[in-house]
Structure 1
């Protein structure tokens, strides 16, 4: 009989550090030889959980088994938990394979092919599933407590930090780890915050510009170029002011857990809280929902404000003679061609000067400024009166409550 062998361990750490897969394969080969079977293929899955079917090697094996005709007649496993730890999923795949005349056989948990054997396999899978959930629960509880005590559970530390071994022992003879500042990376983190807050050479810098600047200076993120996402994450993550949280993301769904389930771990701060707060407020004020990003980051005066007088499309900046001349041009004409709009190019310097001149003469004249200041005073006074009225109502309500008591 032609058979395929399937060996699996749950984590890459197990695959690297123990002999589970070699031992499984040895036993599977010996079983096949003792029973006179020919091994056609060996499928090895290091570091994949059997609670779902999101396993590339497993899926390849199923695909081979469903060929017409099938590549083999039997899938041989060490125990049923190597195939699946979910009773329902096990049954689904077992029936799917049976339709193509492929069986699943465990060398340590043999069962018959009749209804009684099918029931026994379901019972075994139910116990495996329960055991898997119990183990997961205990591991999660242990990791949360580890985080509360200030230890690092992850494998790869966040940018700006390194994991260092402590004197406290963990399982399997290893040492528990804590996060410590990596000064080389931390200097880049501080530079990112400084560039966002203060700009560079008088130029306002957003996440995109900061990423381009750092990459051009060969200040890479662990060998990789910076991008908008990386820069934004660095500027918005509270871990850089010493507030690191564990258990934030649900690994199964990829969604954030409720904040009450997060576990705070205190770590050394790279950025002080005041700097982080100033940057946070600046990010919020420059968010696209508040201000169009082009108006914030562009050094061009009227970017994002001008609209074409012919077709009402936005105007964009174009250059001529290798950047020597700059013009505002209709985006419709620029992207689709001259046939899309009959408007012409507007020299940037002349239009900017005209707009600034009109602002100075019409908007910022002494008489108009006086009117604006009067309106501002009235609004402030009205706001103060409204607040005083609200305070009076609240005080009256409090007195009524005190009387009833």
Structure 2
């Protein structure tokens, strides 16, 4: 019997559970030898979550399924294939369609029998439950870390700040541009007009890209600039210095709501409501 082995590990699993690619490979190769089977193909997805099927080796394996390049797919555990019950069920139906078997080296089930399919469904449900619990623990850990620190979640450093050992520090050259973005928006400028002025002034984004409508909107809607941190619908005071006043940020959100109801807000009216110095962009 020609066998394909599928190996997967996420960064967290490798660090915490020892599910290294090499450990899975050695275990599966030994299993194939013990059964007198032939190893036909190896598919490896290192650093990919089991919650999504968007994995390069997995996609290649599905193409080979259609070609009937092997007779059976062997995994170390069912959750190596996927932690989503619907995805697992769809894959099993696909394998049945092409006459290909599926087996786990550490879990006793046979998808060709009713009892085996029941065990498969039970194990798949457990894998999906574990995925949800892992995601919840990650979220809670990130939220607690943010509250204890300065609220920087993820790896994208916001424009106007630099990430240092002490946390988020204001980058004054960029901060002047942030304040100008808010000033111009409250005076009636559109997102496109603000982006064009930034680009014409030679100002780049944090990633040294040109400004777009979306990147300007990201600045206007991020409560970080008003001194607040946000995780989903949860807001709290950050430990970093704000770049704009909370009142300014709130006015921008109110204006954005108004503009969503009408294509263009009257500029003269906006200027009457928001008198102040005209912002000047500074190239960093």
TM-score (norm 2): 0.75
Counterpart in 2 of 1:289?
Answer: 261
Contact 1:147–1:263 (8 Å) recurs in 2: no
CA separation of 1:147 and 1:41: change in aligned 2, threshold 3 A: same
Contact 1:51–1:84 (8 Å) recurs in 2: yes
Aligned pairs for 1:160-239 (under 5 A) are 160-165=160-165, 178-197=167-186, 205-221=189-205, 222-239=207-224
Counterpart in 2 of 1:75?
Answer: 73
CA deviations 1:221-251 (Å, max 9, x no partner) are 11211111211221232221111201x2xxx
Structure 1 residue ranges without an equivalent (≥5)? 167-177, 199-203, 249-258, 298-405
Distance 2:96 2:253 in 1: 58
Q: CA deviation at 1:208?
A: 1.2
Aligned pairs for 1:341-360 (under 5 A) are none
Q: CA deviation at 1:57?
A: 3.6
> Rg larger in 1 or in 2?
1
Cα RMSD after superposing both structures: 3.4
- Select the structure with the greater relative contact order (CA < 8 A; seq sep ≥ 6): 2
Counterpart in 2 of 1:39?
Answer: 39
CA separation of 1:45 and 1:15: change in aligned 2, threshold 3 A: farther
Structure 2 residue ranges without an equivalent (≥5)? 269-284
Q: CA deviation at 1:130?
A: 2.9
2:100 equivalent to 1:105: no
Aligned pairs for 1:4-403 (under 5 A) are 4-11=4-11, 20-67=20-67, 70-112=68-110, 114-150=113-149, 151-165=151-165, 178-197=167-186, 205-221=189-205, 222-246=207-231, 248=232, 259=233, 262-264=234-236, 266=238, 267-280=240-253, 287=259, 289-290=261-262, 292=264, 296=267
Contact 2:9–2:19 (8 Å) recurs in 1: no
Distance 2:116 2:39 in 1: 25
CA separation of 1:66 and 1:234: change in aligned 2, threshold 3 A: same
Q: CA deviation at 1:104?
A: 1.4
Contact 1:14–1:47 (8 Å) recurs in 2: no
Distance 2:64 2:222 in 1: 45
Equivalent residue of 1:231, what SS? helix
